Each structure stands twice: as C-alpha cells, then as structure tokens.
Amino acid sequence: TGGHTTEILRLLSCLSESYSPRHYVLADSDKMSEAKIRSFEQKRAETFSKSQFTLDRIPRSREVRQSWISSVVTTLFSILYSLPLTYKRKPDLILCNGPGTCVPVCLSAFLLGLLRIKRTIIVYVESICRVETLSLSGKILYYFSDYFIVQWPDLKKKYPKSVYLGRIV
C-alpha cells in the first residue's frame, strides 16, 4: 500500500513493452494501490498501445501489529489462496518489493517450480527505506528469490547473496 506501490511502479516504468501482460496482486483490503496502478497503466497505454494488465486480490497475509502466531495462520491461508492464482497466471517473472502480499505469491510460485509445473524467476527488490536491516518479507524471500536486490551497500555486506545496484527507485 502506498510507498511499496509507488516504488514498484517506478521500477515498472523502466520496463519495455515486452513485459506484457502484467498481473498485479493486491491485498484484498488495499484500496489505495488499485487507483495508483490504474492511473499508471492508463499513462502507459498512451505510449504502448498493446499494453495489457490484470488486477487480482488475495487475503492480506499480515496486518500491521498482528500477532506473530495469528500471522502464521493468515499467511498460510494467503498461500493456499495464491496457489490457484499462481497456477492460473503461470508467470515467467515475479517482480516484488516488500509488502507482505508478495510472500504468499512468491512461495506459491516457488512451490509450482518444485513440483515442475512452472518455473518462475523471482526478483525481490528491498525497499529503499531499508538501510540497515531487511524487512520481514525480505528476510523470508532472501532464501526463495532468484535475484535479491538491495539499495544500500551495508545490506550487501550483511547479505552476500544480494545484489547491490545503488538506488534504483
């Protein structure tokens, strides 16, 4: 919601029209991001006439200040909800940047790869605001992503698998 959406849309604005269709996955309680995405896609369609996108919603895996125990249950529910969606979309690439919604989607895609149904490349971009430590999503997806991008050199030192590209958003 909000900041994460702004960051991912900045990243997407750099992509060519070959990255189409784009499938956005939002938390079912996220109202702000849909408007931002629709506005972004409307502007993109002015440049790329064949631009296509979809919006899908999944249950939020974790609310702010939700207890750790109950967030395990809600995240498992979100993963179960994400599996048929990921199977239906069969993405070639997942580009995500931190909100908890990305964890169930990425884990679903990872599972489909393990089952040899569909191999998806997972690219995780840690938020620009994460200077010294990873977000919870980052701590989880560090082990499941194909490319883990950080935007601060101190994080690269702490997490050797990561790729430091400087500020990209």
Domains with residue ranges and CATH for the chain: 2-164 (3.40.50)
* pLDDT tens-digit readout, 99-151: 788 999 999 999 999 999 999 999 999 988 898 999 989 999 999 999 999 99
Look at residue 2 in the predicted model and tell me its pLDDT: 65
Nearest CA to 93 among 27, 165, 11? 11
Give percent above pLDDT 70 in the chain.
98
Please check the confidence at residue 64 and state whether its pLDDT lies above 90: no
Which of residues 71 and 165 earns the better pLDDT score? 165
Name the token pair of 99. Answer: 């909100």
Name the token pair of 158. Answer: 């702490």
Contact status, residue 155 vs residue 131, Cβ threshold 8 Å:
yes
Please check the confidence at residue 44 and state whether its pLDDT lies above 90: yes
Name the token pair of 132. Answer: 């010294």
Please check the confidence at residue 93 and state whether its pLDDT lies above 90: yes
Q: Give the separation between CA 64 and CA 116, rounded to whole angstroms.
A: 35
